[in-house]
Amino acid sequence: MAKLYVVPTPIGNLEDITFRALRILKEVDLVLAEDTRTSSVLFKKYDITTRLFSHHKFNEHRTVAELAGRIAAGSNIALISDAGTPGISDPGFLLVRTCIAQGVDVECLPGASALIPALVNSGLPCDRFCFEGFLPQKKGRQTRLTELGKEERTMVFYESPFRLVKTLTQLSATFEPERQACVSRELSKLHEENRRGTLAELILYYSNTTPKGEVVITVAGKPD
């Protein structure tokens, strides 16, 4: 029976992909990619010749029903994002939900995600944590931050390097400047950095040092 395969791809280092993921990407009839230009780099490295089809947040609402129908009709399709696991702050959830609703098999492979290495590298408690992904950029942002002020678990956020200082400043104002945190960037790449300290210290550092690369912010929960 045909199915949708959700396939994680490397978040930086192209060696961070499983043998199984490579096999499936070569065997399926079609691969849905967030950006075909980005995915073509991975495909070229591993000699994957499967046809790529653009599938992103701007067109997924129009195409998910048709794609689920193609799988139901017998086509095996793999879904990938630019980096990491589809559906985790990336397109994917809508297609997975549509396939499940239509009785189409879905299989998600284990693999790369920026969330886990950033959490472990932070040195903060990781037995229980709260993943928030990207905070709302405008509407609802302060409301969500206020709600998280009571969160006792370690919190993990994704952020753009261009908004890093602004977000750290808002976190400091909502929690307290002395709350321990970690900023992880360029994970698995040559210039990987995990900078730990209080929110106040991180604000000072990144106010004077322009960050590059996608960022993960890990923040300690509210003390007991």
> pLDDT (tens digit, 9 = 90+) per residue, 11-62?
999 999 999 999 999 999 999 999 999 999 999 999 999 999 999 888 888 9
Instruction: Name the residue among 94, 122, 145, 113 with its Cα closest to residue 214.
Output: 113
> pLDDT (tens digit, 9 = 90+) per residue, 63-82?
999 999 999 999 999 999 99
Residue 3 in 3-state DSSP? strand
Distances, alpha carbon 64 to alpha carbons 69, 93, 101, 156, in Å: 8, 10, 11, 29
Instruction: Determine the pLDDT at residue 28.
Output: 98
Rounded to whole angstroms, the Cα distance separating 157 from 53 reads 29
Rounded to whole angstroms, the Cα distance separating 187 from 176 reads 27
Q: Return the domain boundaries, the chain.
A: 3-108, 115-219
88-101 mean pLDDT? 94
Instruction: Determine the pLDDT at residue 83.
Output: 94
Q: Can 3-108 and 115-219 be said to share one CATH topology? A: no
Residue at token pair 């299989």: 107
> pLDDT (tens digit, 9 = 90+) per residue, 100-122?
999 999 999 999 999 999 999 99
- Strand 30-33 to 52-54 pairing: parallel
Rounded to whole angstroms, the Cα distance separating 106 from 186 reads 30
Instruction: Determine the pLDDT at residue 59.
Output: 85
CATH topology of domain 115-219: 3.30.950
Instruction: Determine the pLDDT at residue 22.
Output: 98
Strand order of the β-sheet with 180-185 is 129-134, 154-159, 215-219, 180-185, 193-198
Joined together, the tokens standing for residue 16 give: 């961070």
* C-alpha torsion angle, residues 34, 37, 43, 45 (rounded to 10): -130
Query: Looking at the predicted structure, is the pLDDT value of residue 6 above 90?
Result: yes
CB 127 within 8 A of CB 24: no
Instruction: Determine the pLDDT at residue 224.
Output: 80
> pLDDT (tens digit, 9 = 90+) per residue, 136-192?
988 899 999 999 999 999 999 999 999 999 999 999 999 999 999 999 999 999 999
Average pLDDT, the chain: 95
CATH topology of domain 3-108: Cobalt-precorrin-4 Transmethylase; domain 1 (3.40.1010)
